[in-house]
Amino acid sequence: MIRANDIIDKVADYYPAADFDIIRKAYAYSAYAHRNQVRLSGEPYMIHPIEVANILAEMKMDVASIASGLLHDTLEDDPMTSLEDLSLRFGDEITALVEGLTKISKIKFKSSREHQAENYRKMILAMVKDIRVLVIKLADRVHNMRTLDFQKRERQEAIAQETLDIYAPLANRLGISWIKQELEDNSLRYLQPAMYREIEEKVTRKELESREFIDKTIKLVQRNLTHSSIKSQISGRLKHLYSIYRKMVRRDIAFEQIYDIVAFRILVGTKAECYNVLGIIHALWRPLPSRFKDFIGIPKANMYQSLHTTVIGPDGRHAEFQIRTFEMHQIAEMGIAAHWHYKEGYQLDDHDRKQMDWLRQMIEWQQDVDNPGEFLDSVKIDLFSEAVYVFTPTGEVKELPSGSTPIDMAYSIHSKVGDHCSGAKVNGKLVSLRYQLKNGEMVDIVTSNRQHPSKDWLGFVKTSKARSKIRQWVKKEEERRSIELGREFCEKAFSRSKLSFNQALKSGKVQAVAEGFSLKHAEALLAAIGRGKLTAQQLINRIFPELRKSKKGKDKAEEKKTIRKPARDGISIKDIDDVMVRFAKCCNPLPGDDVIGFITRGRGLTIHRRNCRHVDQANSERYMEVSWNLDRTTAHVVKIRVMCADVKGMLVAMSTAISSQEANIASASLKTTIDQKALCFFDVQIKDLEHLKRVKMALRGVKGVYQVTRMS
């Protein structure tokens, strides 16, 4: 079993000035937190975090990563460990790493279908604020895969599949090729055991067979490079199992049909030497034209740099050469992890952060970008920092722009779901429509048939799909309301002139007038009237020009009056301009009251207080949302009832109080009751709700006044 000192020795090798104490502390803390846990192998659980830390030390990661490797399971496994506790003992940096790791471990991967796997990977990337979290997570997975034997068969398969679908590609994106290869090979071992054994056996045999070929080739290259005084390190090996397997499956060929199974690697000092060596190889053997790739000129998205060429080598056998500098090789093997190897301090400076951002962008781009055209195309893909990944109740992952709301999610499911979205349950809790979804949340959309899109939604939705669907709905709704209003106005105007609007409509005369205004159909004309762009009187004048001649003067005056003075009096109606309104007598709404509009047959739009007893919400399609336009208000009559003592001078005192608030009294009446009290009724002209409050307050200030109520 590895001890703390073994890890410390490793770290001391590449970073002698490191804070070893923190590693010792993390070791002790983890050992205590896991003291009662046992692995499936029967060993103490502590073996696992130690091995993870050891892998990280071998990768020459920084001390914070190694300490976090030791602590990575404490938060989840030990009820006594808390974020506060960790932060107190190890500081914010390590705590944030452990917290990030715990978050990832809580994501449940339900679906392993390929298109979902990509979204899971993106979700993990989006959740990771510090790329070191991902490196530690990969080290964790490496060790879990190494010890998978102890799991039950189904668990083995599930974990191996998840590793293949999610973690191996992530390792690739971070450019850590040794992890990618080990994870792939180990996954195959459990997913296709028979196939794995077969390939393993053949590779071993092939390796023996190829020994002579490899040695011969290396010697030949070495001689030529020395001749050109290039210092180099050359190695030859067989490709890793999974890449052979994939080639067999992809091309549907047998192991024996794979020719370029041997790969040579030449490491040199400088970039210029790489191209020199390439020239030498191509002079020795004929290259296969389609197999040359210059990843030095155009690096892969994961920072990988190398020249690749396949030649028809000695004995006519295919051989692949990878040519790169030592530094490029370090990055090829370690990827982003190589970054910490070169670091001396622990704190990330701005430059590093920029590099992280850059990396975040790069790893988002499609992996294995092989040609320059594709590479440039991939630059245009949205950066994932601008995306949020959430689960549907069935475990599918949805990708949405960050800041997206339940409405965006609903529209991404189906436009009907969006149109009726009334809220959502996030991780089981109800949230509002404005709620901004966060990574990894499980979102269950709540719908209701009574719910409809609203113009307000446009203020907070993020997706263009939601935006355009809401606009569509609002426009359609506005059209519907305008037509309805237009019809009401027409019916009223026609009946005033003792005409039948329905007859005019049926006879096609309205249609003809519509065409005269270059409108497509009668409904468009009604909508124009509803919006106040045309008047019902204009329609009548067009249909019955003889009426107009006979009482020309009067009609003209009326028409002018309507146009000059839109009767809406301080009310603005949602999505509709210029309609006529009146105020309900039953509840006398005041500016500032919560009001609603009701379409009355033959009377246009009537404004009621929302809590008026005449408002019947069951008849909801005839109601319309309206609001006060407070800079256009005029006085409204409000009935006020005052109960007071029946004493002399009361009426005068109350009238004075009302007038003191600059309110006019339209009428007043008084009646006495048997118990020495009086009831007074005032009709007062009030500007708005605020004004009413002041008047009521003034009345209450009068001596002898018991109760002041607004009547409805």
**Shortest CB 141 distance to Mn ion, Å:** 8
| Closest to Mn ion by CB, 147 or 192 | 147
Catalytic-labelled residue, pool 76, 162, 327, 558: 76
Site for Mn ion in 244-283 (CB under 5 A): none
| Closest to Mn ion by CB, 105 or 436 | 105
| Closest to Mn ion by CB, 141 or 324 | 141
In the three-class reduction of DSSP (H, G, I as helix; E, B as strand; rest coil), residue 398 is classed as strand
Q: Which of 585, 584, 477, 496 is nearest to 535 (CA)?
A: 496
Of the residues 51, 140, 364, 491, which one makes contact with Mn ion according to CB under 5 A = 140
Segment contacting Mn ion by CB under 5 A, of 134-142, 219-227, 240-248, 634-642 = 134-142
| Closest to Mn ion by CB, 94 or 424 | 94
Please give the structure tokens belonging to residue 556: 């003209």
Burial class (CB in 10 A: 0-12, 13-18, 19+), 349: exposed
Burial class (CB in 10 A: 0-12, 13-18, 19+), 154: exposed
Burial class (CB in 10 A: 0-12, 13-18, 19+), 85: middle
| Closest to Mn ion by CB, 159 or 540 | 159
Closest residue to Mn ion, judged by C-beta, is 140
Chain centroid to CA 298? 32
Rounded Cα distance between 418 and 416, Å, is 5
Segment contacting Mn ion by CB under 5 A, of 136-144, 158-166, 214-222, 693-701 = 136-144
Binding mask 72-91 for Mn ion (x = CB under 5 A): -x------------------
Distances (CA, A) of 554 to 189, 351, 535, 563, 564: 96, 80, 15, 15, 15
**Shortest CB 314 distance to Mn ion, Å:** 47
Site for Mn ion in 172-201 (CB under 5 A): none
Please give the structure tokens belonging to residue 702: 């009068």
Q: What is the size of the binding site for Mn ion (CB under 5 A)?
A: 2
Pairing of β 429-431 and β 421-426 = antiparallel
Catalytic-labelled residue, pool 6, 19, 77, 621: 77
77 given a catalytic annotation: yes
**Shortest CB 61 distance to Mn ion, Å:** 16
Q: Please answer whether residues 137 and 97 qualify as being in contact, where contact means their C-beta atoms are separated by less than 8 angstroms.
A: no
**Shortest CB 86 distance to Mn ion, Å:** 16
Rounded Cα distance between 652 and 24, Å, is 89
Binding mask 39-78 for Mn ion (x = CB under 5 A): ----------------------------------x-----
**Shortest CB 458 distance to Mn ion, Å:** 46
Enclosing H/E stretch for 95: helix 83-106
| Closest to Mn ion by CB, 137 or 636 | 137
| Closest to Mn ion by CB, 73 or 364 | 73
**Shortest CB 52 distance to Mn ion, Å:** 6
In the three-class reduction of DSSP (H, G, I as helix; E, B as strand; rest coil), residue 286 is classed as strand
Q: Which of 208, 172, 388, 205 is nearest to 300 (CA)?
A: 172
**Shortest CB 140 distance to Mn ion, Å:** 4
In the three-class reduction of DSSP (H, G, I as helix; E, B as strand; rest coil), residue 580 is classed as coil
Q: Please answer whether residues 460 and 405 qualify as being in contact, where contact means their C-beta atoms are separated by less than 8 angstroms.
A: yes
Q: Please answer whether residues 525 and 517 qualify as being in contact, where contact means their C-beta atoms are separated by less than 8 angstroms.
A: yes
**Shortest CB 150 distance to Mn ion, Å:** 14
Rounded Cα distance between 40 and 144, Å, is 11
| Closest to Mn ion by CB, 179 or 278 | 179
| Closest to Mn ion by CB, 74 or 537 | 74
Distances (CA, A) of 335 to 182, 302, 355: 15, 7, 13
In the three-class reduction of DSSP (H, G, I as helix; E, B as strand; rest coil), residue 231 is classed as coil
Site for Mn ion in 95-114 (CB under 5 A): none
Does position 491 bind Mn ion by CB under 5 A?
no
- Cα-atom radius of gyration of the chain, to the nearest Å? 40
76 given a catalytic annotation: yes
Rounded Cα distance between 571 and 581, Å, is 8
Angle (nearest 5°) at CA 346 between 341 and 349 = 100
**Shortest CB 435 distance to Mn ion, Å:** 32
For the annotated catalytic residues, the residue numbers are: 76-77
Q: Which residues bind Mn ion (CB under 5 A)?
A: 73, 140
